[in-house]
Amino acid sequence: MTETRSAPGGRREAAHLELAFEDNRLVSQLYGEFDQNLALIEQKLGVEAAPRGNHVMLRGPASGVDQARRVLESLYDMLEEGRSVVIGDVDGVIRMILTDDSQLTLPSFEKRGRVRMAQIATRKSTIVARSPAQDTYIRAMDRCELVFGTGPAGTGKTYLAVAYAATLLERGDINRIILSRPAVEAGERLGFLPGDMKEKVDPYLRPLYDALYDMMQPEHVERCIASGVIEVAPLAFMRGRTLTNAVVILDEAQNTTSMQMKMFLTRLGENSKMIVTGDPSQIDLPRGQVSGLVEALKILSGVEGIHITKFTDKDVVRHELVARIVRAYDEKAGGPAPQ
């Protein structure tokens, strides 16, 4: 890769930079269909990115041009490693570039200004972090036995937890995955629902199943469920167990009571990891009842071996409109719910 730079000029500090990428086969993927990747860089960073064959001319404020250079070089590195680049990856790298090093809880920047996004690789797909919080969350799951992921819908906290569990299972690092979620809407009335226990609880765990099917072949998921390698465990049935050699995921944890949360967290056994996800702004418990998640976040903050990743509307990756919806609700409520 080569580059030429002109001297700054104009009323504001402006820059003109030309980047050249050696592998012509990768250039079309770098630019995206109809140059959509370059268009997103222009929109987010306030620069002009004009492609000319395997060269890109960058013009605009010096800071924006430098950020655009880092984005393009980081994406090109991904392509050279044999990974595909989609528009969500471009957005993720831009988010990382725009985040100051001091704001990254678990540093992920490499030398020469490149960004090395954390990733989870399963046999079926590779998931790459698309926001600084996702990057921190994935790295925390590697380093800590207990990880909390809290924040609004669409930030990937549950999806990434299931992906991480699936890759550990496929590598043989654990023997099983245990999925749990409080069925607050049904309360203690699960017995009134038709079917066996799995059929009663399945509707509440559907998001977890959906994520599993994205990471693993459907027939493999079914075999694992049938053999108990992937276990669906209602939260109330966790009492008295010690969970070893497993990744244990508790989803929608904001709807646990204080006693339920303490009971769940103390199930952690040897060679196991726990991942607890929830949105403290979406508590469905009876009025006046304290959320076990909210309480745990206060009590366990700073405890060694525990990491808390707090997602915000800025980390929403599901759809840009979802981020605006979350932001609108937060503003009406007078700001984000305490986490």
What are the tens digits of pLDDT across the range 99-140? 755 445 544 444 445 667 788 888 887 888 888 889 899 999
Do residues 92 and 137 make contact, with C-beta atoms less than 8 angstroms apart?
A: no
Cα separation of 74 and 61, whole Å?
Answer: 20
| Token pair 């924006």 in the structure block, residue | 64
Cα separation of 216 and 162, whole Å?
Answer: 11
* pLDDT reported for residue 308: 95
Q: How confident is the model at residue 162 (pLDDT cuts 50, 70, 90)?
A: very high
Do residues 157 and 127 make contact, with C-beta atoms less than 8 angstroms apart?
A: no
Q: How confident is the model at residue 261 (pLDDT cuts 50, 70, 90)?
A: very high
Residue 115 DSSP SS3:
strand
CATH 3.30.1370.10 placement within the chain: 2-113
Q: With 70 as the cut, is the pLDDT of residue 168 above it?
A: yes
- Closest by alpha carbon to 266, among 245, 248, 279? 248
The helix (run of H) or strand (run of E) holding residue 41 is: helix 36-45
Residues 6+ apart with CB under 8 A from 33: none
Cα separation of 156 and 222, whole Å?
Answer: 23
Percent of the chain with pLDDT strictly greater than 90: 40
290 DSSP assignment: P
Do residues 284 and 291 make contact, with C-beta atoms less than 8 angstroms apart?
A: no
Cα separation of 327 and 294, whole Å?
Answer: 20
Q: For residues 70 and 7, which has the higher predicted lDDT (pLDDT)?
A: 70
CATH 3.40.50.300 placement within the chain: 119-332
Q: Which two tokens stand for residue 19?
A: 């980047």
Q: For residues 326 and 182, which has the higher predicted lDDT (pLDDT)?
A: 182
Q: Which two tokens stand for residue 167?
A: 């890759």
Cα separation of 256 and 250, whole Å?
Answer: 10
Q: With 90 as the cut, is the pLDDT of residue 260 above it?
A: yes
- For range 254-261, the mean pLDDT: 93
Q: With 60 as the cut, is the pLDDT of residue 8 above it?
A: no
Do residues 128 and 110 make contact, with C-beta atoms less than 8 angstroms apart?
A: no
Angle at 66 between CA 60 and CA 67, to 5 degrees: 100
Q: With 60 as the cut, is the pLDDT of residue 336 above it?
A: no
Cα separation of 251 and 230, whole Å?
Answer: 15
- For range 303-327, the mean pLDDT: 80
* pLDDT reported for residue 275: 97
Cα separation of 193 and 189, whole Å?
Answer: 8
Q: For residues 232 and 273, which has the higher predicted lDDT (pLDDT)?
A: 273
* pLDDT reported for residue 96: 82
pTM to 2 decimal places: 0.72
Q: How confident is the model at residue 186 (pLDDT cuts 50, 70, 90)?
A: very low
User: Is it true that domain 2-113 has CATH number 3.65.10.10?
Assistant: no
Cα dihedral 204/206/208/213 (nearest 10): 170
Q: For residues 10 and 66, which has the higher predicted lDDT (pLDDT)?
A: 66
Distance of CA 127 to the CA centre of its chain: 9
| CATH superfamily of domain region 119-332 | P-loop containing nucleotide triphosphate hydrolases (3.40.50.300)
* pLDDT reported for residue 318: 65
Angle at 173 between CA 169 and CA 177, to 5 degrees: 40
Do residues 282 and 253 make contact, with C-beta atoms less than 8 angstroms apart?
A: no
Q: For residues 198 and 321, which has the higher predicted lDDT (pLDDT)?
A: 321
Question: How far is CA 42 from each of CA 100, 121, 132, rounded to the nearest angstrom?
Answer: 20, 30, 20
Do residues 42 and 49 make contact, with C-beta atoms less than 8 angstroms apart?
A: yes
Q: How confident is the model at residue 327 (pLDDT cuts 50, 70, 90)?
A: confident
Cα separation of 38 and 36, whole Å?
Answer: 5
Q: How confident is the model at residue 338 (pLDDT cuts 50, 70, 90)?
A: very low
Cα separation of 190 and 289, whole Å?
Answer: 21
* pLDDT reported for residue 329: 77
